[in-house]
A and B are shown apart, each in its own frame.
Chain A
Amino acid sequence: MSSKADALIERLRRKEPKALSDLYDAYSGALYGIIVRIMPKAEVAEQVLQDTFLKAYKNIESYDPNKGRLFTWLVNIARNTAIDALRSAQYRQQQKTDSLEILVHNPGGQSVNPDHIGLRELVAQLDEKHRLLIDLLYFQGYTQEEVAEKANLPLGTVKTRVRQAIRELRRAFGERTPAVLLVFLFMP
């Protein structure tokens, strides 16, 4: 955990309004990217994003840095809030089938942050089945059981593939990021 994040958490605990603004600036895009994958309806997704930050701001005391990164904590709040919104909208059943089909036929269809344009190719180079898994589990909030059932795979296989997918991701980011940054540096 970086000292910058520590300082932000400290400011959030003191309930500084500016701290919430900074938290939002740092993570709203990444969280919104996940929220819109679970709940594509813009006005509902925006409400979910707002609720996520409000919950985080109010419950910052319950965040324990020893149990994981701040962003992971935020993603869990965002995902649960989005899934709740989806359930309350009775939206889920239809959406689940749709997105699975979309993924099967058009797996690269996520919107991509232009700030990370170089990384996009990198993600695109991931094994397709790994990318699909991360998308379903991380971006769309499916459970491993749901994925196993839909993909007709044993749960153990799903778990192993998740681990492989994230290892691949780590390797990609770990090895390729400096090269990507170099590309950025020599861009006109």
Chain B
Amino acid sequence: MDVKSFIASGILEAYALGQCTLEERMQVERMLQTHPEVRAELDAIEQALEQIAQVHAVPPPSHVKEALLQRVQAEAGTLTSSADRRLGRWWSALPWAAALLLGGALLWQVNERSHLNEQLRLLEQQRADCEKRNQQNARLQEVVALLRDPNTQAIVLSNASKEASGKVSATVWHNAVRAETVLDINSLPAPPPGYYFQFWAIIEGKPVSMGMVQLNSEDTFQRLPFLPEAQAFAISVEDKPQGNNTPTQVLMVGKI
């Protein structure tokens, strides 16, 4: 269709008045894109209608505008909080909530497990401690029984040489009936650094080793071999942890 007769047909007026069928509307819109003169014609028609509408304008009451703006604000506010949307949000959040819950449960279980393991380890340690103390107590009871025995002799070992400066001593409990010999570690002085104490029995004037003194023992006493022939006890200072065959320097001596 040529542009002039298109314009003359009155289709643009009908378009501006909203009177076109869908088909006519599409035809006009195609022409608008391709023909600037059609555009200009439509614009003039629309302007004329707009002007006459302005001539016949009726100012609406002021409350209409207020209500409109309030409504827009209210709708903007409720847009995100309507029940439907809330429900929708809940449903969409469900997988995340489930995953989070599962993750949380797993984490809790792992945590709980390590916590339980720790508790178990502590219990085990306490049980071992208890066992050790029981044994220690039993040993102590034996020593107490020994000390209560009237046949037990308390033998005090003291300075072997007169010229030694400072008084040192050690106590040994000896019971020939029970065949027990026990050294009271607490009564001993500390050896010089790098030196060790060795315990001896004197039998017929000759020293016989009864072992090294265990200064770092858990108990405050040390059981020694029972030698019925022993006539005296001695403690020597040695330079080797395992001691020597003969005493190097006799520190203390005590007769039975």
Interface residues of A (CB under 8 A from B): 1, 17, 20-21, 24, 28-34, 36, 46, 49-50, 53-54, 57, 66-69, 71-72, 75-76, 79-80, 110-113, 115-116, 119-120, 123, 134, 137-139, 143-144, 159-160, 162-163, 166, 169-170, 173
User: What's the Cα separation between A24 and B9 when bound, in Å?
Assistant: 34
B32 touches A53 (CB 8 A): no
Which residues in B have their C-beta under 8 angstroms from that of A138?
Answer: 17, 49, 52-53
A79 and B49 alpha carbons, distance in the complex (Å)? 14
User: Could you list 14 further interchain pairs (A-B, Cβ under 8 angstroms) beyond the known A66-B33, A115-B57?
Assistant: A1-B43, A20-B68, A28-B59, A29-B54, A50-B68, A54-B68, A67-B32, A71-B50, A110-B56, A115-B54, A123-B52, A144-B19, A162-B17, A170-B45
- Ordered nearest first, which 6 A-B pairs have the shortest CB separation? A29-B57, A113-B57, A163-B10, A30-B53, A116-B55, A33-B58
Assembled-state Cα–Cα distance A115/B54 (Å): 9
Q: What are 5 inter-chain pairs, A to B, with CB distance below 8 A? A: A111-B56, A113-B54, A163-B10, A166-B13, A166-B49
Residues in B with CB closer than 8 Å to A162 are 10, 13-14, 17
B64 to chain A, nearest CB (A): 5
The reply to whether A24 and B56 form a contact with Cβ atoms under 8 Å apart is no
Interface residue B144 (Cβ < 8 Å from any Cβ of A)? no
**B47 CB–A CB distance under 8 Å:** yes
Which one of A67, A75, A163 contacts B29 once the chains associate, using CB atoms below 8 Å?
Answer: A67
**Counting CB contacts under 8 A, is B251 at the interface?**
no
A116 touches B54 (CB 8 A): yes
CB distance from B150 to the nearest CB of A (A): 108
In the bound assembly, the distance between CA atoms of A170 and B51 in angstroms comes to 9
Residues of B within 8 A of A69 (CB): 43, 46-47, 50
B69 is an interface residue with CB less than 8 A from chain A:
yes
Q: Which A residues lie within 8 Å of B61 (CB)? A: 46
Q: Which residues of A contact B42 (CB under 8 A)?
A: 68
Interface presence of B48 (CB below 8 A): yes
> Chain B 59-70, CB within 8 Å of chain A: the 1/0 string?
111011101110
Contact of B58 among A36, A76, A144 (CB under 8 A): A36
- Beyond A29-B58, A69-B50, whether A170 also contacts B65 by CB under 8 A is no
What's the least CB distance linking A153 to chain B, in Å?
14
